[in-house]
Structure 1
């Protein structure tokens, strides 16, 4: 079964959403102070979710007025990490993303998250959207304080990109878990989202980023 074709209006709205997300993350990367960058990101996401026609929030969702709930910024969750070789670089992972959708992932490498997380997770390459880095995470808060399917940190195909460590392009990624955000399906099950695979599931509680309430 094939997905229905997008109408022109929807396609243009989606393009504008991605353009605005990419612009927001560009501003985040340009800000030298991580805490200020995080506040910029929070305000930008609140504006998009409150006002944009492609917001995942239903029209009557009170989060349009209150903003998306977050843990306070914690610098202990910000890292600049090397991307290490994956154990099985030829591996292909296919994740269901709805009744007719499959998201295909290939491992780019792994990052070793220091304490307070203390786990190794996989950085993936999305085959869709002409490719992009994808780093989801399901942690010990999932199912109660954060969405049960996990949250996303990087989805560069859609503009969610914290960039490389300054001066270390092609070597180290900025992995700041304060920027973990919920996929659209957390707000409305009409949206289709790939969920965090076992490689990206950690027992530690990551009390950073977006939360349920």
Structure 2
């Protein structure tokens, strides 16, 4: 359902279906955080995401009726990490999107066995933690523009504890622009490019 509201004399399109998409995404990740078994949580998350892509009016798929399931590499527990958030030099990065640009502000970094990743805060109202990444599988078995690990604006947050941030590459997913050219997605800056192949998460 879509409606139009007036805001200070301007007309702005508001999508209640997008609100529903975000609520469902938040619920998927909340179930992951509650689960005591990471692989069971991953299976449940995949099933819920497939239902969302197949049935939701805001799906990025061009032919959702033909969708069965998104391809994923087998679960690899060696690619699940809890990493302390380390300080990083302040930096900003303006990312082009369809509505102009999105400002990213670096708020920290994590050191993982597979390499280092910068942590970004999305500009705009409410903000949100954002962790994209590129790796050696891009343009081969995964989307050339990279994948996402965390995007808290949309509720994509695996959690963590006092020891650090939870980063599980088995939950890596493609941005919507991989499926539909009408989407414009912020991709991985230089500090989020890994030299090694990450054979986990969503595949082509």
TM-score, with structure 1 as normaliser: 0.87
- Extract unaligned runs of 5+ from structure 2: 1-9
Aligned-pair distance for 1:144? 1.4
Q: CA RMSD in A?
A: 1.5
Q: Distance in 2 between matches of 1:5 and 1:205?
A: 46
**How many residues are aligned here?**
195
Shift of 1:128: 2.8
> 151, 169, 190: which is aligned to 2:147?
151
Could you list the structure 1 runs, at least 4 aligned residues long, displaced by more than 6 angstroms after superposition.
Answer: none
Distance 1:158 1:181 in 2: 13
Which structure 2 residues correspond to residues 1-213 of structure 1 after superposition, within 5 A? 7-8=13-14, 11-59=15-63, 62=66, 64=67, 66-86=68-88, 88-89=89-90, 91-98=91-98, 100-114=99-113, 117=114, 119-165=115-161, 168=162, 171-212=163-204
Distance 1:69 1:5, change over 3 A: farther
Alpha-carbon distance, 1:129 to partner: 4.3
Per-residue Cα deviation, 1:97-144 (whole angstroms, up to 9, x for no partner): 23x421111111000111xx2x11101011134111000010000011
Point out the structure with the larger strand share.
2
CA–CA distance in structure 2, aligned partners of residues 129 and 58 of structure 1: 30
Runs of 5+ in structure 1 lacking a partner?
none
User: Deviation per CA, 1:54-104, whole angstroms, max 9, x where unpaired?
Assistant: 000013673x2x210000100000000001001x12x21111123x42111
